Amino acid sequence: MDKYFPNVDWLMMWDATKQTLYMTGISVLVTFILGILLGMLLFLTAKGNMWENKPINTVIAAIVNIFRSIPFIILIVLLIPFTTFLLGTMIGEAAALPALIVGAAPFYARMVEIGLREIDKGVIEAAKSMGATTWTIIWKVLLPESLPALISGITVTAIALVGYTAMAGAIGAGGLGNLAYNYGYQRNQNDVTVAATVIILIIVFVIQFIGDLITSKIDKR
């Protein structure tokens, strides 16, 4: 091992991996909840749906589109005041979370909305014709019926988030991206970059595998 990776401090690599997993884990969790909330609102307030409301729909759609369009590296910089206000610092893994979530939640919200729109309108109508309330429809029709789409969507988002954490690492958030940047790039230790890349690839493959497994388990279509 030391022969191929002479500059790699494996303890440091392990710490960086944990930081990456931490950033990815928390941001995926919050993005999942926030994205479903936003996506659900986008869906329900759209024309012809239960909470049809053009002004609210337009405002949410605009916010989602704006934050989805800003390149992530710029978003981090833009959010510096917000992050320092929230956490008192701009350094460390926790400081990366606001930017990660603000960047990913709108992206996921759109996927949630698409997933919800794919539900057969007839099924929603059938639930209405049985006397279901909107809450019942949300919990027992919309969410279960779109679950495979929600899971495959969060899988894609989680993988994008792994990439985002690496970018956030480059400007001081820690993690594998930070390590690769500080050692691999700044000190020209290519073996560190390669090792960090391999670990990131493994993380991505594992996320994809878990996502596919869950999707195929719950998809009864």
Which CB, 3 or 220, lies closer to another protein?
A: 220
* 215 counts as binding another protein under rule CB under 8 A: no
Among 26, 80, 114, 132, interactor with another protein by CB under 8 A: 132
Residue 218 makes contact with another protein by CB under 8 A: yes
**Any contact of residue 48 with another protein (CB under 8 A)?**
no
Quick one: tokens of 73?
């590296």
Residue 144 binds another protein, judged by CB under 8 A: yes
Q: Is 120 in the site for another protein (CB under 8 A)?
A: yes
**Residue 119, helix vs strand vs coil:** coil
CA atoms within 13 A on the CB side of 205: 6
Q: Which is nearer to another protein, 140 or 187 (CB)?
A: 140
Distance, CA of 146 to CA of 112 (rounded, Å): 8
Applying CB under 8 A, does 127 fall inside the site for another protein?
A: yes
Q: Which residues of 67-104 are buried (b: 16+ CB within 10 A; e: fewer)?
A: beebebeebbeebeeebeeeeeebeebbbbbbbbbbbb
Instruction: Report the Cα 48 to chain-centroid distance in Å.
Output: 29
Considering only the stretches 33-41, 140-148, 153-161, 167-175, report the one whose residues sit in contact with another protein under the rule CB under 8 A: 140-148
User: Would you state the structure tokens that stand for residue 199, as one six-digit string?
Assistant: 């670990």
Q: Smaller CB distance to another protein: residue 52 or 125?
A: 125
Task: Point out which residues bind another protein (CB under 8 A).
Answer: 120, 122-123, 125-133, 136, 140-141, 144-145, 147, 218, 220-221
